[in-house]
Amino acid sequence: MPETEVDTFAGIDVSARELSVALRRGKGEDKPAIAKFSNHHAGHKALIAHLFRGGRRVRVCLEASGNYSLDLALTLQAHRQVEISVINPRRARRFAESLGQRSKTDPVDARVLCEYAARMPWVAWQPPSSVALHLRAVARAIADLAVIHTQQNNRAHASAASQALPVLVVKEMQRHQKYLEQRMTRLRREALRLIAGDSELDRRFRLMLTTTGIAETSALQILGELAVLPDILDARQWVAFSGLDPRLFKSGKSVEKRPRISRGGSRHLRRALYMPALVALRRDPYLRCFYQNLLARGKARLQAVVAGSASWGVFQVATGQQPPLALIGVAVAGAFAWFLIRGATKAKTDPR
């Protein structure tokens, strides 16, 4: 649809209980009007009635706020008169700073998002399928339980080391560990059921299992994060979503900071990729040789090469554009952008 047909813009700042909405009807209004609605089903209905009061198409922008913004985004997406864009909160903050906005309140953030919708190039949000959303929720629940299980395992080990503590405490901790294991097993079965019911997810899952370093647990975590992304993303966008793209800081000849990864993407995906990268580094001779060659070239070039091109493997695994054998040495390379940069930095600064 041509941009000239849209002259009503809205920015929505989402919190757990409340929605702050800045709405500008027509291009003549200087300051968007602020309204507030509750962040639940009844409040969403009232918000939609407020947006459609003029009977025009509305372009709505909001930040990605996890589960707090998900239901609202899906509700708005269901209406044909609404164009919705869900942006990274960091991008919204940087845009606010470019406007000279020093304060950060809910009404201010809503007005900033309204300005973003009116001024910036429009990228429409593509809602993930319900299966993908369910898979991501289950995969993240498994990861959270795994963290708790590790903590409980450490406590049980420390308690068993002392004979002065009652045996009852150690046994209760062991029972809790078994309970957590049962919950993770139940969730893992549900994740496999969701994947088996979707032919495309099942294809990607089986493709991941052919990759050195990725087994069932890691594949569930990685696929859970990648499944919610649209298929139209290119390699650079996959890299950016993982937060493994390099961030350079250089000006003139005197200012040059150490390059680092941006970490602007999904921390869940980076965590899921980290251990498979370590395993593949030890088990796959091609990746090990690749790693050693990059280290020999020096840190700066390493960071540029790895962060810029290694994450291409994540894109290939997710889209299945290459046969499994061609993914050897590439499939988990996205994780190396994180691992190699850290390892190279340590090796460069180590006085030994």
Domain hosting 149: range is 130-197
Q: For residue 40, give every residue at least 6 positions away whose Cβ sits within 8 Å of its Cβ, in sequence order, or none.
A: none
Residue 210 lies in a domain: no
Q: Can you give the pLDDT at residue 2?
A: 44
Q: Which residues contact 225 (CB under 8 A, 6 or more apart)?
A: 136, 139, 266, 268, 269, 272
299 and 338 fall within a common domain: yes
In terms of domains, do 93 and 147 share one?
no
Q: What is the pTM of this model?
A: 0.79
- How far lies 185's CA from each of 34, 179, 216, 300, in Å? 48, 10, 12, 43
Among the candidates 119, 143, 163, a domain finishes at 119
pLDDT in tens, 29-79: 668 889 999 999 999 999 999 998 877 889 999 999 888 999 999 999 999
At residue 12, φ and ψ (nearest 5 deg) are: -125, 120
- Quick check: is 209 in a domain? no
Judgement on whether residues 176 and 259 belong to the same structural domain of the protein: no
Q: Does 165 share its domain with 261? A: no
Show the tokens assigned to 186.
């139940």
Same domain, 228 and 344: yes
Residue 149 pLDDT: 94
The span from the CA of 228 to the CA of 135, in Å, is 9
- Rounded Cα distance between 106 and 37, Å, is 12
Token pair belonging to 244? 């493994």
Spans of the chain below 70 pLDDT: 1-4, 27-30, 234-235, 287, 290-291, 294-295, 297-352
Which pLDDT does position 62 carry in this prediction? Answer: 95
Which of 71, 97, 119 delimits the end of a domain? 119
Are residues 325 and 244 both part of a single domain? Answer: yes
Please indicate, yes or no, if residue 58 is contained in any of the structural domains: yes
pLDDT mean across residues, the chain: 79
Q: Which has the closest alpha carbon to 19: 144, 90, 136, 110? A: 110
Residues 114 and 148 placed together within one structural domain of the fold? no
Number of Cβ within 10 Å of residue 10's Cβ equals 28
Structure tokens at 291: 């790693």
- H/E stretch holding 277: helix 267-283
Q: Provide the pLDDT for residue 37.
A: 95
Question: Into how many domains does the chain fold?
Answer: 3
Please tell me whether residues 149 and 260 are part of one structural domain.
Answer: no
Distance CA 195, CA 93 (A): 36
